[in-house]
Amino acid sequence: MTGQNAGIIGMGHSYPEGILTNADLEKMVETNDEWITTRTGIKQRHKAADNEYTSQFGTRAALQALERAGLEPTDIDIILCATTTPDQIMPSTGALIQAQIGATNAAGMDVFAACSGFLYGLTMVESMIRTGQIRYALVIGAEVLTKYVDYTDRGTCVIFGDGAGAAVIGPVPEGKGILSTKIKSDGRYEEQLYAPGGGTKLGTSHQTIDDRQHFFKMKGNELFKVAVRSMADISAEMVKKAGYTVDDIDIVIPHQANQRITDAVAARLGVPDEKVYSNIAEMGNTSSASIPIAIDECIQSGRIKEGTLALLTAFGGGVTWGGTVIRF
């Protein structure tokens, strides 16, 4: 690719202190720790308090990422906040975070691509930096999913958790940063994971509230198959496009959807388990936040170092998916 390479130059993450364990869920719906653990790999998830909301976590993650990048909020040209659980319908959570961090030179907006949102954001700012249109971007994945989860539906309520991760993206030397990236969607699968109520199609009414239409609805086992196929295929394509083979990849950071999805994607790609990062046991599925949280954890623990070749892949409602190969 010609032009300026773009890469991650600072990361941060944040999540609520509140924890919802499998034992807590056993008291809310007919489920048990053994079922949740074997079907999903999840042991606990973080849950925001009633007075906590998405932009707060996004802001904390963004400020940490800026500090680690050695930049000021005013250095940022664009803030893309990937979220499906915004503070409110308008203005965007990206604009609210812009105000909270004082990024007065930036444009703030949201990326609405469910669990793939962080890779959507990365892909968009990569080309903006490559072409010289901007210098520094903040890409944030921030979610408070637990406020959209129906705690009477055992099929969805065991999966989701809250949190945020942020990346400062900027110019990096040739051979480093984002080497290949691609995003895709297929809206025909709309009803595999959706929240039908509260928009212009099914506007908020007493009826929609009584019918619980504002909560996430999911066809988990159908989603499972499409997710595995889509993530594995786009990953293989992006590794090849970057000029590598799967064996060259040092670490795979998949969206933390379900441990069985992660295992199946790794098996399909032929990547050994020890190269695949997972924090799903402690974090659950935090949608667009899962990849940036995982990257930051890997940097902090030393699993990602200067020179590490990483494959990121995501899948989410829409359906949406993406793959990115990045050299740190």
Residues interacting with ligand COA, by CB under 6 A?
31, 35-36, 39-40, 115, 154-155, 158-159, 193, 218, 220-221, 223-224, 257-258, 261, 285, 315-316
Please provide residue 236's backbone torsions phi and psi, each rounded to the nearest 5 degrees: -60, -40
Active site residue 285: yes
Buried b (16+ CB within 10 A) or exposed e, 28-40: eeebeeeebeeeb
Nearer to ligand COA, 123 or 285 (CB): 285
Among the options 13, 157, 285, 298, which is catalytic?
285
Q: Which helix (H) or strand (E) holds 111?
A: strand 107-111
- Residue 259 is classified by DSSP as H
CB of 18 to ligand COA, least distance (A): 20
Q: Name the H helices within the chain.
A: 22-26, 33-40, 54-69, 93-101, 117-130, 154-157, 206-210, 220-241, 259-269, 280-283, 290-301
Active site residue 46: no
Q: What angle do CA 253, 299, 224 make, to 5 degrees?
A: 15
Buried b (16+ CB within 10 A) or exposed e, 231-269: bbbbbbebbeebebebeebebbbbbbbbbebbbbbbeeb
CB of 160 to ligand COA, least distance (A): 8
Q: Nearest residue by C-beta to ligand COA?
A: 220
Active site residue 255: yes
Nearer to ligand COA, 51 or 221 (CB): 221
Nearer to ligand COA, 35 or 244 (CB): 35
Among the options 13, 157, 255, 258, which is catalytic?
255
How far is 125 from 123, CA to CA, in rounded Å? 6
How far is 259 from 269, CA to CA, in rounded Å? 15
- Residue 255 is classified by DSSP as -
Nearer to ligand COA, 35 or 112 (CB): 35
CB of 230 to ligand COA, least distance (A): 11
Among the options 5, 81, 115, 298, which is catalytic?
115
Nearer to ligand COA, 235 or 285 (CB): 285
In the block, residue with structure tokens 């653990």: 37
CB of 55 to ligand COA, least distance (A): 22
CB of 220 to ligand COA, least distance (A): 3
Active-site positions read: 115, 255, 285
